Structure 1
Amino acid sequence: MFDILVYLFENYYNPQACPKAEVLAHKLAAIGFEDDEINDALSWLHGLHESSAQHQPLQTLHHQQSLRVYTDLEYEFLGQEALGFISFLEQSGALPPALREIIIERAMAIDESPIALEKIKIITLIVLWSNDAEVEHLIFEELVTDDGDRLYH
């Protein structure tokens, strides 16, 4: 699934440039992605769309300060590394509260605990991309690298 998310980011300037789900599924299958992986990615993206719509009213609170207290389940599921990364993005001013909530919700939708840092970076990148959020160059570099290696090619 994550390979598909990275593929979409690399090949579509913005989410509006992506074809509808059925057409996208055919394109992804034609280039060699497996059906299960395609279905998982499309389902995850549909959830992202719903979560973004739900949090749309909060998007105007971009410059508001907020304090996020994580539940035990969130802390256990996301893990210290992912939560530390989310905190880093918040403190740097790159992640407003509404997008933070979308990232947490979409990370919790992944069947992995704790979630790996490279995956939380991809989730964050896709959430920012899908919400047309501007990302400073240094933050972008942090999102697309992992221990000196690019997350995408």
Structure 2
Amino acid sequence: MFEVLVYVYENYWQGDACPELQQLGRKLTAVGFEAEEIQAALVWLDGLNLAAQGTQICLPPAEPQGLSHSLATSQDVQAQSLGSLRVYSVTEQEHLGAETLGFVSFLESSGVLPPHMREIVIDRAMAAPGDPVTLDDLKIIVLMVYWSFGQEPDALVLDELCDDTAQRLAH
């Protein structure tokens, strides 16, 4: 499935250029991916599309006294405050593993993964195969979440997501 997602990211790097899922499935078949991989990727992408469409940030005009911004969803929900903490369920901890949760925490504390995108990353990682999800697979998921919002991560984040860290030499 992840090979299909990488292909989609590389060939339709502007999310709005990606064809509808049924047409995308035909194109992926023509490229030579296996039907089972294509189906898993299309189901996963459909979930990503639903999550991205359901999460829209509406930033109100600048408010005095630094009040938090609201999140525009089906309910009126407040955005995460600076002092809040994301607690992962046992199921999430087991499926994601310590390494991937540490990487999500790193991205979030670096300011490159806002809470609404983090939640989509966690949701899509929970829908991904693997127990636990590998760090390389999580990096693909993060790229796909950025892609679904029509955003490209900055160069340093992109380097961290795409670089093979196994070949790095510590100084």
**Secondary structure at 1:30 match in 2:** helix
Which 5+ residue runs of structure 1 have no aligned equivalent? Answer: none
Q: 2:22 is matched with which residue?
A: 22
C-alpha spacing 1:14/1:114, structure 2 compared with 1 (3 Å) = same
Larger radius of gyration: 2
Q: What residue identity is the alignment partner of 1:30?
A: A
AA in 1 matched with 2:105? S
Partner of 2:98: 80
- Whether contact under 8 Å (2:48, 2:145) holds in the other structure is yes
**Aligned-partner residue type, residue 113 of structure 1:** D
Structure with greater proportional helix content: 1
Range that drifts further, 4-13 or 118-127: 4-13
Q: How far apart in 2 are the matches of 1:131 and 1:88? A: 21
Q: Deviations over 1:19-74 (max 9, x none)?
A: 11121111111110011111110000000111122322537988953421111111
Query: Which residue of structure 1 lines up, in the alignment, with residue 128 of structure 2?
Result: 110
CA distance in 1, matches of 2:88, 2:137: 19
Please give the residue correspondences for 1:58-137 in structure 2 after superposition, counting only pairs within 5 Å. Answer: 58=71, 65=82, 66-137=84-155
Q: Residues 42-61 of structure 1: matches in 2 within 5 Å?
A: 42-57=42-57, 58=71
Q: Which residue of 2 aligns with 1:6?
A: 6
Return the alpha-carbon distance in structure 1 between the equivalents of residues 5 and 79 of structure 2: 25
Number of positions where the alignment pairs a residue of Structure 1 with one of Structure 2:
149
With over 3 angstroms needed to count, the CA separation of the structure-2 counterparts of 1:119 and 1:62, relative to structure 1, is farther
Most deviating of 88-97 and 69-78: 69-78
Inter-CA distance 146–93: structure 2 relative to 1 (3 Å threshold): same
Question: After TM superposition, what 4+ stretches of structure 1 lie above 6 angstroms from structure 2?
Answer: 59-63
- Which deviates more from structure 2 when the two are superposed, residues 34-43 or residues 133-142? 133-142
- What runs of 5+ residues in structure 2 fail to find an aligned partner? 58-70
1:93 partner amino acid: G
Give the 3-state SS of the residue equivalent to 1:10 in structure 2. helix
